[in-house]
Structure 1
Amino acid sequence: MTTHRNPPFRAEHLGSLLRPKPLLEARGEFGGPKASDAELQRIEDEAIKDIVDKQIKWGYRAITDGEYRRHMFWGTFFPGLEGMTEIKNPTLDIFRTYVPDMAAFLEEDKIPGESIVCTGKIRHTGESTYIGQYEYLKSLTPSERHGEIKMTLAAPCWYHLRYREGRAYPKDVYANDKEYFHDIAVAYQTELDILYKAGLRNVQIDDPNFAYFCSEKMIEGWKADPLNSGTSDDLFLAYVDFYNECISKAPEDMHIGLHICRGNFVGSRHFSEGGYDRIARTLFTKLNVSTYYLEYDTPRAGSFEPLEHLPAHKNCVLGVITSKFPAMEDKEEMVARVHSAAGVVAKGAGCSKEDALKRLGVSPQCGFASHAVGNLVTHEDMEKKLKLVREIADEIWPGEP
């Protein structure tokens, strides 16, 4: 019998899973006609039920809906707020073009086809844009597992870093970042309260932005930008305070984790490189989340050494399996990597490696479809990868979920 355990779990995945072809066709992802709203919901419901059944079969506790109702991983939180407006075909002058995802778009002569900007005072409407996704997952799982369901949420700062200073909000609406952050934080508190009252106890916030502060190219671009009034370190610290305000009212039994990777776009494209060394101490000691889901599948994420700063009361899920490409990792090599990371955590915390392992888990480094079209893997590849994650966890932590 599988022992009970609160999140995080030994074997995890990062939320987004490859969509089946009928779902992509119904959403018009291949350029064809979209299905009617009623037909699309029926297809979504069936696809989600299938992928939930598979996750349970594969031995996963933190069940997600694969983000099957979303086009991109961050969902509809920001468009659902009063004071935030979607703009089509934005002009290039509003963006920090050295922010890694923006720089990648420009390499291909592209500008984001949509973006969300602040146009007025920001306020939560009281209606959650995530709640329907959670309620449907509840209908597919036993009541005793509702607290294990994992909802992936948008990063609070997602629509801030990409904009040049002074362009994230009108100056006649907010005088400075602190005022702007505060209203988003209050909206985030409201969102978490709604989801908590519905039964959600397992939250994962997805934020590639934090990894961008590890990128030397981004740091150099920041320094060369005459519009910036402070350093990139100043902004990173401000983001940490911003996050802490967002989650400050979450009850103690609501597990909140942060997923950081270096980008995951169409064609398995990543956006940035650089180890966690530059941000690790602040990230691990000042940000009030319980768990860090970290990219560790390639050298672009650096070494395990920054894990020395992981406090003794926090967890880390090591993304040592790639979701980007089909080549399978060697199980014993990955087991050895987890043990190596545990040695670093133990050294930093002054504890045994066995105790350090109690605060670790394993996962792919990112989702399989942060964008609806997905990565350069097949459904069969994804299944093999997720089964491998489970096998690694079972060898290191036998009998634990």
Structure 2
Amino acid sequence: MSTDPPFRADIVGSFLRPPALKAAREQHAHGVIDDEALQVAEDTAITELVQKESDAGLRLATDGEFRRSWWHFDFFGGLDGVDIVELDHGIQFQGVQTKPRGVEINGPIGFSRNHPFLGHFRTLKDLLERTTGATPKFTIPSPTVLDFRLEPGHIDSQTYSGRDAIVDDLVTAYRNAIAAFYDAGARYLQFDDTAWAYLCSDVELEKARDRGIQTDGIAERYASLLNRILDGKPDDLVVTTHVCRGNFRSTWISSGGYEPVAEQLLGVVDYDGYFLEYDSDRAGGFEPLRFLPQGEKTVVLGLITTKSGELENIEATKKRIDEASAFAPLEQLALSPQCGFASTEEGNVLTEDEQWAKIREVVAIADDVWR
């Protein structure tokens, strides 16, 4: 089994919020408890979570994103020059829509060392050093998501002349974020990214054009943006990405195989690893893995779905790993759930017991395949 991240048995990041934490967040939202009381509830829940992660056999641990409402907006809202605002619509999933929130650029984009996520990471790292000794993994949204989700008219014209004008400041902000997390002790970061999956969908590309995005050559532009951010990162810092097809209340957004973006994403972008969703036919086949550079990088196969509580067939999952190894070496593959269990605080439609059974299954399969 791998002793370095990405691990042979890995996870994307988020977990179902326990009932006590959900209640505390609700009470905080209505002014019943203060910030300090909410933090106590979060700390308690995260302490219990990391022990469960260890008990399940994981070599890493996340904080479950328990301090967030959204996988992306909480981070974006903490950047300088970025606000989370109410829109007249949410993000449309299959049969359900999120709360009507969006990103607005109201000043120069920047990352300050008082960003709350730095404190969240330090707390996780300190907790793990005192308890399980697991490697802390921390997730933040990719900068491509901020660009892809920008609505028309949501960039302050006195600050930036348009969408292309934000790129340099966005690069600097993320380079500063990487440096700050590294200085805080982070050695395993993940950029969560829906944009690359949407580039595989003609439907989502059309929606992007309606938002004023120039989609011709967008994969090349995103690869350049990310490589500018990753250029010069410390050698002992692992930065991966999770390519998400939409994960809200067990529903989804994007369909389409990885072929349209695989050459740029796997072959050009300087990530150390890729968490790719492969839990349904909507992801297509494993052929795009042929673009993975030989002897470099890891693809973590998301073969275990978080959208239902039903366990996968172990032998069938092993067979799919074997099928993937026809296009990328087995030593460059790993296994995880296809996504988190709660990309937003609402969570997917399964129980906590089912969630942990999924994690134990990932560990057991990975141990058998790679031991």
Give the alignment's TM-score, normalised by structure 1. Answer: 0.86
In 1: Cα distance, 2:108 partner to 2:30 partner: 38
SS in 2 for 1:102: coil
Q: Deviations over 1:61-99 (max 9, x none)?
A: 1210111111111263321222112322x246xxxxxxx
Report 1:234-253 matches (<5 A).
234-253=217-236
Q: Is the 8 A contact 2:50 2:62 kept in 1?
A: yes
Report 1:133-152 matches (<5 A).
133-142=120-129, 148-152=135-139
> Cα distance, 1:111 vs. partner?
7.3
In 2: Cα distance, 1:259 partner to 1:361 partner: 13
Report 1:198-347 matches (<5 A).
198-221=184-207, 225=210, 228=212, 230=214, 232-266=215-249, 268-312=250-294, 313-345=296-328
| Aligned counterpart in structure 2 of residue 161 of structure 1, from 124, 134, 148 | 148
The match for 1:393 is: 366
Q: Is the 8 A contact 1:72 1:372 kept in 2?
A: yes
> Cα distance, 1:388 vs. partner?
0.3
In 2: Cα distance, 1:163 partner to 1:151 partner: 24
In 2: Cα distance, 1:270 partner to 1:229 partner: 22
In 1: Cα distance, 2:139 partner to 2:322 partner: 28
Higher alpha-carbon deviation: 72-81 or 257-266? 72-81
SS in 2 for 1:344: coil
In 1: Cα distance, 2:350 partner to 2:141 partner: 25
In structure 2, give the amino acid aligned to 1:126. R
2:349 aligned with 1:373: no
Report 1:35-184 matches (<5 A).
35-74=33-72, 76-88=74-86, 90-91=87-88, 102-104=91-93, 112-142=99-129, 148-164=135-151, 167-184=153-170
> Cα distance, 1:47 vs. partner?
0.7
The match for 1:348 is: none
SS in 1 for 2:326: helix
In structure 2, the gaps of 5 or more residues are none
In 2: Cα distance, 1:257 partner to 1:168 partner: 29
The 1:178/1:43 distance shift into structure 2, 3 A limit, reads same
> Cα distance, 1:59 vs. partner?
1.1
The 1:245/1:300 distance shift into structure 2, 3 A limit, reads same
In 2: Cα distance, 1:202 partner to 1:193 partner: 13
The 1:147/1:168 distance shift into structure 2, 3 A limit, reads farther
In 2: Cα distance, 1:59 partner to 1:228 partner: 46
% identity of equivalent residues = 34
In 2: Cα distance, 1:7 partner to 1:388 partner: 19
In structure 1, the gaps of 5 or more residues are 93-100, 346-355
In 2: Cα distance, 1:178 partner to 1:29 partner: 41
In 2: Cα distance, 1:214 partner to 1:233 partner: 13
SS in 2 for 1:15: coil
Q: Is the 8 A contact 2:73 2:103 kept in 1?
A: no
In 1: Cα distance, 2:38 partner to 2:278 partner: 36
In 1: Cα distance, 2:188 partner to 2:220 partner: 25
SS in 2 for 1:332: helix
SS in 1 for 2:223: helix
In 1: Cα distance, 2:132 partner to 2:153 partner: 43
Q: Deviations over 1:282-320 (max 9, x none)?
A: 111111111000000010111111111111111100000
Q: Deviations over 1:115-159 (max 9, x none)?
A: 221012222233232111111112222389878210001111223
In 2: Cα distance, 1:360 partner to 1:263 partner: 23
The 1:30/1:376 distance shift into structure 2, 3 A limit, reads farther
In structure 1, give the amino acid aligned to 2:341. F
Q: Is the 8 A contact 2:311 2:358 kept in 1?
A: yes
Higher alpha-carbon deviation: 64-73 or 4-13? 4-13
Higher alpha-carbon deviation: 10-19 or 76-85? 76-85
C-alpha RMSD over aligned residues: 2.4
The 1:84/1:215 distance shift into structure 2, 3 A limit, reads same
In structure 1, give the amino acid aligned to 2:56. W
In 1: Cα distance, 2:179 partner to 2:330 partner: 32
The 1:200/1:75 distance shift into structure 2, 3 A limit, reads farther
In structure 2, give the amino acid aligned to 1:69. R
> Cα distance, 1:24 vs. partner?
0.3
In structure 2, give the amino acid aligned to 1:181. V
Give the alignment's TM-score, normalised by structure 2. Answer: 0.92
SS in 2 for 1:200: coil
In 1: Cα distance, 2:262 partner to 2:155 partner: 30
Q: Is the 8 A contact 2:194 2:244 kept in 1?
A: yes
Q: Is the 8 A contact 2:103 2:150 kept in 1?
A: no
